[in-house]
Amino acid sequence: MDNPIQEFTVQIPRWSPHLQPIRLEDATAEQQEALEVTPSNTKVSDYMLVLAHDPQSLKHRNPLFNTIMYGPGGLSRADRELGAVGASGVNRCIYCTAVHASRYIALTGQPEVIDSIFEDESSAVLPPREQAIFDYAVNLSSTPPQVTDVHVQALREAGLSDLEIVDLTLSAAIFGWANRLMETLGQPVATTT
């Protein structure tokens, strides 16, 4: 039986869907376009095949997600990942947290930042710049958002430009979306070999 993983981890779990993914061989032209299926790209995850039930939303969501997380300029890749981890922790999306905490560690070589976050969650004590970024993402992610001008001021004092603050806002906000897909349409389970 599939028992969902409940604790934060950097071991990336397998994602087990609650809904039947569409079958790629049955995909309509619109679904194929949204999935960006090409002759050289035929490997599609179950997660994407579940989202393909609604191709019009998927078609815009995927490029939006990729542009926010990986687009050029502005906030660094690592800091965007930290924003994603802050949001995913509030929403307790174990899968998203594992993926983005791993990427953060790979980009920065700072596992201790992630260790603190996993241990103390939203009250984690971090170096000043990481603290400002994490606190902003956490407070933006609650429902309703609790973020205030104090959090923005802390980001400015940590040296973030207005464009970088826009990018951090986007990276946390897009996980307000991604978490709600990932953790309600399926669940994280241990990988089996």
Q: Are 174 and 68 in contact (CB under 8 A)?
A: yes
Footprint of another protein on 133-192 (CB under 8 A): 140-141, 143-145, 147-149, 151-153, 156, 162-163, 165-170, 172-174, 176-181, 183-185, 187
Identify the residue among 12, 71, 123, 127 touching another protein (CB under 8 A).
71
Give the burial class of 84: count Cβ atoms within 10 A of its Cβ; 0-12 exposed, 13-18 middle, 19 or more buried.
buried
Residue 103 CB, nearest distance to another protein (Å)?
Answer: 20
Among 63, 127, 128, 159, binds another protein (CB under 8 A): 63
Judge whether 131 and 122 are in contact, CB under 8 Å.
no
Give the x-and-dash track for 22-51 against another protein (CB under 8 A): ----------------------------xx
User: Would you give the DSSP letter of residue 41?
Assistant: B
CA-nearest of 141, 133, 135, 136 to 175 is: 141
Note the residues at the interface with another protein (CB under 8 A): 4, 18-20, 50-51, 53-54, 56-61, 63-64, 67-68, 71, 73-74, 91-93, 140-141, 143-145, 147-149, 151-153, 156, 162-163, 165-170, 172-174, 176-181, 183-185, 187
